Amino acid sequence: MISKVLIANRGEIALRIHRACKEMGIATVAVHSEADRDAMHVRLADESVCIGPASATDSYLSIPAIIAACEITHADAVHPGYGFLSENARFADIVEAHGMVFIGPTAEHIKLMGDKIAAKEAVSAAGIPVVPGSPGGVENYAEAKEVAKDVGFPLLVKASAGGGGRGMRLARTADDLEESLNAASQEALAAFGDGTVYLERYLERPRHIEVQVIADTHGNVVHLGERDCSLQRRNQKILEEAPSPALNAAQRDEIGEIVRKAIASIGYRGVGTIEFLYENGEFFFIEMNTRLQVEHPVTEMITGIDLVREQIRIAAGEELGFTQEEIVFSGHSLECRINAEHPRTFTPSPGTIKEFHAPGGMNVRLDSALYAGYTIPPHYDSLIGKLIVHGKTREGALLRLRRALGEIVITGIDTTIPLFIDLLDNQDFLNGDYDIHWLERWLEEQD
């Protein structure tokens, strides 16, 4: 039994978790930095604890501060959300060592999948197709040249500890290889404290398609279909949709089944996302995220399954309430990431929200922690909300999105809303005809 959850996060995701808890009759504890005293997640939670100054390192990333907050409030479980400590195996271990439930996978699985080289080996052994590349880490230029002979150019140098698109460098030809190797390794060492890099064939025009899985501790594993997250800028997702416009039902079942079997074979628990690049009808694994994703609502909209509720039930040792055969994919869903950023330059735009009006109506969902008069602090990620719509068809969902974007009002700061309004005038986007580089090409054309 879980009766009180401490939410180790902030912003829209803290609210999202709070909502699931309340609907399950579970009490919530918010933690916050000094900069977040007036935040919506603090206002709505049953209790709140200040865990440190504005700097995330000293608050949302401080394991001692969060554990102390758990002890003071007698929380019996911790939900890490996404980002911050959500993929920190040590945190998961420490939470459990203190006799609390970590709402997520085991520390071992977090650790395994956080090491991209080990993750690739593990999923490949479990039958998931991976991007061709170096068999493990690449120590030096001489080794990289050997790999290049087998795999060919272009090659992508990637950091084993990488995340958020950092520690990645492209080598188009042999001439770039040494420099890309050094640059990626140095960036990875600075960002993650680990300079280990590996090589992958660089796919020129792939889509980013990821499969959502959910597994309980009784051996039941179900896949919840895919999300298409190909609209990206600097390897960061901007808009996501489910199902992917590029797949048909047979392809969905095929990749879903491969993933489901693989995840069952490694004994995973909780929700997880297996990310692929998809090109010319082939899937290539790039990484697994062992947490709830920002874009999870599009899956919820087409399956009717509340992923946070399921996470909590699984953490409490309950069985999944559904089988694979009972999952019905219904209609189409799109999500726009509303960032406090200029819609063209993407310069962060923290500040005070003057007016705020949320769009409404049938099948429109706004996951956000905004309110009029709220001051967005400059210290954290610029995501301030997610607009999610559902329609019977992709066309219907696009029309609904256009309608909802026309209703939403956020003044006082810049947001990415105008970008989405412009995108809805583009025929390639409307046709679902885009790859991971499409948005950057489109943005350049606009200049």
Which residues are identified as catalytic? 291
End-to-end CA gap in the chain: 55
Note whether 203 binds ligand ADP by CB under 6 A. Answer: yes
- Contact letters (x/-) for ligand ADP, 217-246, by CB under 6 A? ---------------x--x-----------
Q: Tokens 């060492």 correspond to what residue?
A: 189
What mask of x and - would describe binding to ligand ADP in positions 239 to 278, judged by CB under 6 A? ------------------------------------x-x-
Rounded to whole angstroms, the Cα distance separating 420 from 397 reads: 14
> Is 435 an interacting residue with respect to ligand ADP (CB under 6 A)?
no
d(CA 361, CA 336): 17
Q: What's the token pair of residue 216?
A: 């309980």
Establish if 336 lies at the interface with ligand ADP (CB under 6 A).
no
The residue count for binding ligand ADP (CB under 6 A) is 20
Q: Give start and end residues of each alpha helix (H) in 24-78.
A: 40-44, 63-73
Binds ligand ADP by CB under 6 A, chosen from 162, 195, 243, 297 = 162
The three state secondary structure string of 202-264 is CCCCCEEEEEEEEECCCCCEEEEEEEEEEEEECCEEEEEEECCCCCCHHHHHHHHHHHHHHHH
212 binds ligand ADP (CB under 6 A): no
Query: Binders of ligand ADP among 82-141, rule CB under 6 A?
Result: 131
Map residue 386 onto helix, strand or coil: strand
CB of 437 to ligand ADP, least distance (A): 8
Q: How many CA atoms lie within 13 A of 341 on its CB side?
A: 19
- Binding segment for ligand ADP among 159-167, 186-194, 297-305, 380-388 (CB under 6 A)? 159-167
Q: Which stretch binds ligand ADP (CB under 6 A): 23-31, 157-165, 307-315, 418-426?
A: 157-165
- H helices of 304-369, where? 307-315
Q: Tell me: does residue 301 bind ligand ADP (CB under 6 A).
A: no
Output 35 or 286, the one with its CB closest to ligand ADP.
286
Count Cβ atoms below 10 Å from residue 396 Cβ, excluding itself: 15
For residue 368, the minimal CB distance to ligand ADP (Å) is: 23
Which residues would be at the binding site for ligand ADP (CB under 6 A)? 131, 156, 162-166, 200-203, 206, 208, 232, 235, 275, 277, 286-287, 436
